[in-house]
Amino acid sequence: MAESRIIAITTSLIFDIYMNYSIVITTFDKRFESDLVPLIKSIKEFRPSMEIILTVNGPARDDFDQNYRAKLFEFLAQYDCVYPMVFPKFQSLAKLWNRGILAATNNSVLVLNDDLKIQTADGKSFFDELETLLSDAPETFTINGSFSHFIVSKRELLEVGFFDERLLGLGEEDGDFYWRYHEKYHREIPTFELGMIDNIHSDVTDGGYIKGIRTASKFNREFMKKQKYKDILFGGYKGMFDKRVKKMMEDKEQYPYESFYLENKHLL
């Protein structure tokens, strides 16, 4: 009897922890069957009530594939608490991250790429390790040193500033946020090593934008190196960049009324 009660209490505590964060996944048509379907299935197998905000990017040059749209909605309809946000035309990864995090109902958000595999070992999954960590972790951190999977809090995102949507393509969002996070708090974003999550590093991309390094946009790289930041020999901060840099462009407030919403929504 006592053992059953302990199990029930432990299960309840774990449930409370994982219900206190949301998941945001970014995806697009070419990774549907190969990556998104198995990822959603595995998340819902381990955490069936988990809130998932799915930001679906459109193509850069082509029309949105209506067959893909139908298949996507049919697949998602099998699961509770999955909320798609579809963009008919290509948008920046920064915008997809921002909009997904804004839509999430929890302060703590796990942001995932779609090309990940959730694994199990000895009856436990990646989520068991993550939720143990969340009970005593900073508000924002990367997992295994990568922004392919990271936790961010809305509170800190509002204080640091949202991911820069002037980065119109893919790439450099993480390095820019990392730099500004250090500028704001005078500390680096920590990282924690967690098992049972495999980063596939898919090379499958939308073919409609000009590439720089691997899948990243040439536009984003040039904007960061030639406009927003400047290499310097002394002072500044390196962060995730190749060299120490100084920020040359002002970051204007994005989504300026989000703080007002969060502070006053209980009055509705």
Give the whole-number percent of the chain exceeding pLDDT 90.
91
Per-residue pLDDT at 13: 44
Reduced to 3 states (helix: H, G, I; strand: E, B; else coil), residue 168 is coil
Q: Which residues span the domain enclosing 111?
A: 2-267
Phi, psi of 69, rounded to the nearest 5 degrees: -60, -45
Instruction: Evaluate if residue 93 carries a pLDDT over 80.
Output: yes
Nearest to 140 by CA among 130, 151, 129, 148: 151
What was the pLDDT predicted at 12?
39
Mean pLDDT of all residues in 108-125: 96
* pTM listed for this prediction: 0.92
Q: Residues 189-198, buried b or exposed e (16+ Cβ, 10 A)?
A: beeeebebbe
Write the pLDDT tens digit of every residue in 171-219.
999 999 999 999 999 999 999 999 999 999 999 999 999 999 889 999 9
Q: What pLDDT is recorded for position 82?
A: 99
Domain count, the chain: 1
Helices vs. strands in the chain: H and E counts, helices first: 9, 13
CATH code where residue 90 lies = 3.90.550.10
Q: What does DSSP say about strands 245-247 and 82-86: parallel, antiparallel, or unpaired? A: unpaired
With a cut of 90, say whether residue 16 has pLDDT above it. Answer: no
